[in-house]
A and B are shown apart, each in its own frame.
Chain A
Amino acid sequence: MTATEYALRTDGLGKRYRKVWALRDCSLAVPAGRVTALVGPNGAGKSTFLRLVVGLLAPTTGSVEVLGQSPATNTPQVLSRIGFLAQDHPLYKHFTVAELLRLGCSCNLRFDQGLAERRLARLEIPLDRKAGALSGGQQAQVALALALAKRPDLLVLDEPMASLDPVARLEFLQALMGAVAADGMTVLFSSHVVPELERVCDHLIVLNHSRVTLAGDIDTLVGEHRLLVGPRTTTDVDKAGTVVEATHSERHTTLLVRDGGLPAAPGWQASPVGLEDLVLAYLRWPARQDVEPTTMAEVPA
């Protein structure tokens, strides 16, 4: 694959705020056309990562490349290819929706006002209403309409659904997925809610404690991992280094391993792992490893 076929590539990317690292040593690549979920607990560095991607922040270390160019060049051409919807979808609250559209028109190269108007008409959002007078869900939809009307090649959304009620979440997700299906753009969005990912994403990045702990296409990742259940083991011989997580009940030990499907040892039963369990294991992973390394069990495979 050539560089431009990656929508996003980072190399050793890191960001430090005074003495605290918000993101460290992040190297990954997202192919063009993917819908990528960036998952991590609050404070894991998701917003920092996304702001680095869209060029709002400058990296402390390493580099970012978006659609083959550094967002630091900050030219109208580069900016027009990236759409960004920040957390809590900030808008000028005292602008009417029509004024926000006019803003989009006057500040963008290829703003598709008709597209935004049709989208808002379908959602029955009045153009003469001030943004601050709309409901949270409607504000999110207006912000999404503005970002989509830029006709970006990469759309970045920071916790787009965090502040929405369940109905608004669903509507927002439908709107987003409809647009992706129509335009084929690359989407990168952050979330700390796991269940809704499976339906919409095909690529995953897990961020925890300022580091990337898992990244790749979801099908591949799910295929590489499996659950092994066997008799309770307390010895620690993770020789192959493939155990992601071990949980122990009274009689059994359950291991989540990333071994690409080698034959299981006698007495152990293998089963595929669901995306949600996989993500949760990686969200817990580094902390557990730091706190109690001795509970790691021997890999029986």
Chain B
Amino acid sequence: MTWLTWRQHRAEVYALGLLVAVIGAFLLAVGLQMHSLFPGGAGQCLGADLSETCSTAIRRLNEEHGYASKMLNLFSLVPFLIGAFFGAPLVARELEAGTWQFALTQSVPRMRWLAVKLGALGLATALLTGVFSALITWYRQPIDVLDGRFGADAFDLEGLVPAGHGLFAFAAATAAGAVLRRSLPALAVALGAFLAVRVFVMGWLRPNYQEPHRLVELVAADDPADPGNPRMSTGSHLDWTISTGYVDSSGRPLSLYDSVMMYSAAEKQGVKFSAYLHERGVQQWIEYQPAERFWTFQLVETAIFTGLAAALLALVVWRFKRRVF
């Protein structure tokens, strides 16, 4: 059974392994160059007063490696590719070719057949996405130090989350294949589900895995405020800002309209916007997730995606148990 699983799916292992290897080789090439900008580590280039070398390095980082963020956002589909290409054919290809009748009438009980396949290919998904995540984590190290790890181009690609995403894609593609009985439609449905769940989790759930911290203070006369955004600092540039805003002296939140009206009033009077707010006792607030919550958030998000994966695989197991095919 182990040999059969390997023989049947080695083409996927080779192809996806090659994909990760190519990505790794590319990241190594551009990453070594990027890392060499900061010979003493990017940690020396934090804070307000930057040395000459540091500001040169950061300028070159932005100029020469500015594509990194866009590229990494694209790479967030790699865990999907890994999981879905293992999952989609797992059941569907057997149903398409009729070979399920051959496979399930050998002397291997059908539940054992399924357990070995799900186990082996799920493990392969976790391993490959793990390698992928390690490559990205190494590559992004200077950027992580400078910008933090909560951005979509970091959080989705580092640590445990890629493995969670990969397992979810694997389970979604397997389940879609078991229901639709066709590999290609299963792949398409899995992609739709993957994107929908990712957007939902990223936009609605992730900011609330833990109650955000909230800072409120009176606007100082020389703060760099603008009408849309208080530009308030949390004390660490690595924190993840969730939202910001103003409240007036009575504690009533100011809408964007209110603050724009105040801004034009300040301009008419010829005073600085922040000074105008300060005079009227307007407070600014910020809600954020501290940088040290990175691993807690990683664990929560990985748990969500592996939980969804487990539920989808339970559906596959249930269909097998019922012997609907």
Q: Is the CB of A107 within 8 A of B106?
A: yes
* Those of A50-67 within 8 Å (CB) of chain B: 51, 54-58
Q: Is the CB of B8 within 8 A of A92?
A: yes
**Separation of A109 and B182 alpha carbons in the complex (Å):** 31
* Those of A65-114 within 8 Å (CB) of chain B: 72, 74-76, 79-80, 82-84, 86-88, 90-93, 95, 99, 102-104, 106-109
Which residue from chain B places its CB closest to the CB of A110 in the assembled complex?
B107
Asked if A9 CB lies within 8 Å of chain B CBs, one says: no
Q: Is the CB of A90 within 8 A of B108?
A: no
Residues on A with C-beta less than 8 A from B324 are 57-58
Q: Is the CB of A106 within 8 A of B105?
A: no
Q: Is the CB of B101 within 8 A of A90?
A: yes
**Separation of A76 and B106 alpha carbons in the complex (Å):** 8
Q: Is the CB of A58 within 8 A of B3?
A: no
Q: Is the CB of A84 within 8 A of B105?
A: yes
**Separation of A194 and B322 alpha carbons in the complex (Å):** 35
Q: Is the CB of A58 within 8 A of B99?
A: no
Query: Which residue of A54, A79, A84, A102 is within 8 Å of B108 (Cβ)?
Result: A79
Q: Is the CB of A91 within 8 A of B108?
A: no
Residues on A with C-beta less than 8 A from B323 are 55-58, 72
Residues on B with C-beta less than 8 A from A72 are 323
**Separation of A81 and B7 alpha carbons in the complex (Å):** 26
**Separation of A225 and B12 alpha carbons in the complex (Å):** 60
Asked if A24 CB lies within 8 Å of chain B CBs, one says: no
Asked if B97 CB lies within 8 Å of chain A CBs, one says: yes
Q: Is the CB of B106 within 8 A of A79?
A: yes
Residues on A with C-beta less than 8 A from B7 are 95, 99, 103
Asked if B231 CB lies within 8 Å of chain A CBs, one says: no
Asked if A226 CB lies within 8 Å of chain B CBs, one says: no
Query: Which residue of B3, B4, B97, B109 is within 8 Å of A90 (Cβ)?
Result: B97
Q: Is the CB of B109 within 8 A of A104?
A: no
Asked if A150 CB lies within 8 Å of chain B CBs, one says: yes
CB distance from B92 to the nearest CB of A (A): 14
CB distance from B1 to the nearest CB of A (A): 6
Residues on B with C-beta less than 8 A from A54 are 105
Q: Mark B87-130, 1 if CB is under 8 A from A, else 0.
A: 00000000001111110111111110000000000000000000
Q: Is the CB of B98 within 8 A of A104?
A: no
Q: Is the CB of A76 within 8 A of B109?
A: yes
Query: Which residue of A75, A92, A107 is within 8 Å of B99 (Cβ)?
Result: A92
- State whether A104 and B105 are in contact (beta carbons under 8 Å apart), knowing that A90-B99, A93-B97, A99-B7 are contacts in the complex: no
Q: Is the CB of A76 within 8 A of B98?
A: no
**Separation of A55 and B320 alpha carbons in the complex (Å):** 12
Q: Is the CB of A76 within 8 A of B8?
A: no
Chain A CB within 10 A, most for which of B7, B8, B324: B7
**Separation of A54 and B102 alpha carbons in the complex (Å):** 11
CB distance from B88 to the nearest CB of A (A): 17
Q: Is the CB of B111 within 8 A of A74?
A: yes
CB distance from A162 to the nearest CB of B (A): 13
Chain A CB within 10 A, most for which of B4, B7, B107, B324: B107
Residues on A with C-beta less than 8 A from B325 are 56-57
Which residue from chain B places its CB closest to the CB of A92 in the assembled complex?
B99
- State whether A107 and B1 are in contact (beta carbons under 8 Å apart), knowing that A55-B323, A56-B323 are contacts in the complex: yes
Residues on A with C-beta less than 8 A from B101 are 51, 56, 84, 86, 90
Chain A CB within 10 A, most for which of B102, B109, B324: B102
**Separation of A163 and B8 alpha carbons in the complex (Å):** 26
**Separation of A272 and B34 alpha carbons in the complex (Å):** 94
**Separation of A72 and B98 alpha carbons in the complex (Å):** 20
Q: Is the CB of B107 within 8 A of A80?
A: yes
Q: Is the CB of A58 within 8 A of B322?
A: yes
* Those of B110-157 within 8 Å (CB) of chain A: 110-111
Interface residues of A (CB under 8 A from B): 51, 54-58, 72, 74-76, 79-80, 82-84, 86-88, 90-93, 95, 99, 102-104, 106-109, 143, 150
Interface residues of B (CB under 8 A from A): 1-4, 7-8, 97-102, 104-111, 322-325
Name 18 extra pairs, CB < 8 A, besides A74-B110, A79-B106, A150-B106.
A55-B105, A55-B323, A56-B105, A74-B109, A75-B109, A76-B108, A76-B109, A79-B109, A83-B105, A84-B102, A86-B101, A91-B99, A91-B102, A92-B102, A106-B3, A107-B4, A107-B107, A150-B107
